[in-house]
Amino acid sequence: MSGVNDMSLSESGKCIEVKQVTKAFGKKVVLNDVSLDVKRGEIFGLLGPSGSGKTTLVRLITGLDEPGSGSISVLGEQMPKLGILSRIGYMAQSDALYGELSAMENLQFFSSLYGLRGHLLKERIGEAAELVKLTDDLKKPVHEFSGGMKRRLSLATALTHHPEVLILDEPTVGIDPVLRKSVWKELDVLREKGVTILVTTHVMDEAEKCDRLAMIRDGKVIALGTPAQLKMDSGSETMEDAFVAYGGGQA
């Protein structure tokens, strides 16, 4: 993808840097001294049960919220920063789509917020729709879409502006296994193109597909490394066993 090859910002090869981040809502501490780095061009997974603080961390990285203490930088810039948002593609846990509009209109609307117009807009929409295999359904209103189609359309709306960083909050939740596979294939394609991808999941076998991952529980990173490394170090056969071994308790 264009713009992605610009390596000037990657002095350290780090795309996302989270340093000792703590975040509390009222008295409830949601993130407790979280530190992690995401390298350029990798798929990084945040693995943890619901309520572990994944979504909060992702929202902080996207700049939707500010950490209580600690710092977060994306592409070399301290977050939150408005200018960086155009280089991030964000897909929230809920399908943020307008049901009354067609898939095409949704894509046009969200893409135009990134300043895409005219010919380029059309080209990018065609490209994104192709990637998530919705080309034939673009004219349909979104309320007629199945859950899986909505999920893929959500992904497409995060792609049209060619983000350098893709942040996906539970992209495969509620999708059948076949589609889940195809979504992961799409993520692989994007990585090949140089996009850095941060993905949250609570599905253990999905975590295996990440280059590196952080296990999160109760707002703390309990383990960090490649899937193979994590399994080996904990002497576990599966990701699930590894999660339990690292103090994840009932996974």
Q: Which residues of the chain form contacts with other proteins (CB under 8 A)?
A: 62-66, 80-83, 85-86, 88, 90, 92-99, 110, 113-114, 157
Closest CB 101 distance from other proteins, rounded Å? 11
The residue (of 91 and 215) whose beta carbon lies closer to other proteins is 91
Q: Of 84 and 230, which has the nearer Cβ to other proteins?
A: 84
Q: CB 222 → other proteins: shortest distance, Å?
A: 28
CB of 96 to other proteins, least distance (A): 4
Q: Which is nearer to other proteins, 97 or 207 (CB)?
A: 97
Least distance to other proteins from the beta carbon of 219, Å? 20
* Least distance CB 62 / other proteins (angstroms): 6
Residue placing its CB nearer to other proteins in the complex, 95 or 164: 95
Cβ nearer to other proteins, comparing 63 with 219 = 63
**Residue 201 CB contacts under 8 Å (≥ 6 apart), including other chains:** 45, 46, 47, 170, 171, 172, 207
Q: How far is the CB of 81 from other proteins (least distance, A)?
A: 7
CB nearer to other proteins: give 93 or 226: 93
Residue 90 or 243: the one with the smaller Cβ distance to other proteins is 90
In whole angstroms, the minimum distance from the beta carbon of 23 to other proteins comes to: 12
User: Beta strands 43-47 and 212-217: pairing type?
Assistant: parallel
Task: Let me know: does 43 contact 197? Beta carbons within 8 Å.
Answer: yes
SS (H, E, C) 30-47: EEEEEEEEEECCCEEEEE
